[in-house]
C-alpha cells in the first residue's frame, strides 16, 4: 500500500518539477513575445500613420506565438493532470486517515475495557472496584488487628488475675493447713490433759 503511494507522489513531484523547469528554460532561452513585438515595431519603417512590417518577421512572430501558446497549453494540461493525480492521492490519503481514525478509536475502546473472571469492565470502573476492595480489605485487616490486640490484652489481664488468684489460693491453703495443724496440736494437747486428769481422778 505504501509503495504505490510513494510512486504516485514521486511521479507527481517529477511532473511538477519538469513543468517548472521547462517554463524557466523557455523564459531563459526564448525572448518574450512582448520583447519580440517591440523589436519588430522598432525595426519597422513608418509610412504616414502606418508601420510597414516585413511579412517574414510577422511569420516568425506568429510561429513564436503559436509555439508559446502550444507550450502553455501543454503546461496547462500537465498541470491539470498533476492536479487530478494530486486530488486522487488526497482522496486516498483521506480514506486512509479515516481508516486509521476508526482503527484508533476501536483500539482505544478495546484498551478502555478489561476482562476479569470472564466479565468485561471499563478500566475506570475496574480501578475504582479494585481500590474499593483494597480499602475494604485494609479496613477489615485493621479492625481484626485491633480486635486481636484487644483480645490479647484481655487475655493478659485474665492471666495476671488468674495467677494472682492462684497465688492467693495457695497462700490461703497454706495458712489453712497451718491452722489445721495448729488446731490438731491444740486438740491433741487438750486430749492429753483430759486423759491425765481422768487418770488422776481414778
**What is the structure's pLDDT at 28?**
39
Task: Show the 3-state SS of the chain.
Answer: CHHHHHHHHHHHHHHHHHHHHHHHHHHHHCCCHHHHHHHHHHHCEEECCEEECCHHHHHHHHHHHHHHHHHHHHHHHHHHHHHHHHHHHHHHHHHHHHHHHHHHHHHHHHHCEEEECCEEEEHHHHHHHHHHHHHHHHHHHHHHHHHHHHHHHHHHHHHHHHHHHHHHHHHHHHHHHHHHHHHHHHHHHHHHHHHHHHHHHC
pLDDT value at position 199? 75
pTM of the full predicted structure? 0.36
The confidence score (pLDDT) of residue 143 equals: 94
* Cβ burial, residue 90 (10 Å; 0-12/13-18/19+): exposed
pLDDT at 26: 46
Q: What is the pLDDT of residue 134?
A: 92
> For residue 82, is it left (φ>0), alpha (ψ between -120 and 50) or beta?
alpha
pLDDT mean by block of 10 residues, the chain; 202 residues: 46 51 46 70 68 72 82 89 88 91 82 66 77 92 93 91 88 87 87 80 67
What does the pLDDT read at residue 29? 41
pLDDT of the residue at 189? 86
Question: What is the predicted pLDDT for the residue at 3?
Answer: 46
Amino acid at each position: 500500500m505504501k509503495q504505490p503511494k510513494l510512486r504516485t507522489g514521486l511521479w507527481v513531484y517529477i511532473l511538477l518539477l519538469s513543468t517548472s523547469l521547462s517554463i524557466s528554460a523557455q523564459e531563459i532561452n526564448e525572448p518574450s513575445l512582448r520583447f519580440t513585438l517591440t523589436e519588430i515595431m522598432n525595426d519597422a519603417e513608418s509610412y504616414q500613420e502606418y508601420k510597414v512590417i516585413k511579412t517574414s518577421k510577422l511569420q516568425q512572430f506568429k510561429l513564436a506565438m503559436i509555439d508559446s501558446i502550444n507550450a502553455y497549453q501543454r503546461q496547462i494540461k500537465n498541470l491539470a493532470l498533476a492536479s487530478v493525480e494530486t486530488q486522487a492521492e488526497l482522496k486516498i490519503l483521506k480514506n486512509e486517515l479515516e481508516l486509521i481514525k476508526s482503527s484508533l478509536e476501536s483500539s482505544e475502546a478495546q484498551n478502555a475495557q478489561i476482562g476479569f473472571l470472564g466479565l468485561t469492565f471499563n478500566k475506570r470502573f475496574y480501578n475504582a472496584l479494585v481500590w474499593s476492595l483494597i480499602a475494604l480489605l485494609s479496613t477489615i485487616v485493621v479492625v481484626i488487628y485491633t480486635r486481636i490486640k484487644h483480645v490479647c490484652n484481655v487475655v493478659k489481664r485474665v492471666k495476671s488475675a488468674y495467677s494472682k488468684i492462684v497465688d492467693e489460693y495457695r497462700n490461703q491453703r497454706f495458712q489453712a493447713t497451718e491452722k489445721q495443724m495448729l488446731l490438731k496440736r491444740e486438740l491433741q494437747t487438750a486430749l492429753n490433759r483430759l486423759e491425765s486428769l481422768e487418770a488422776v481422778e481414778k
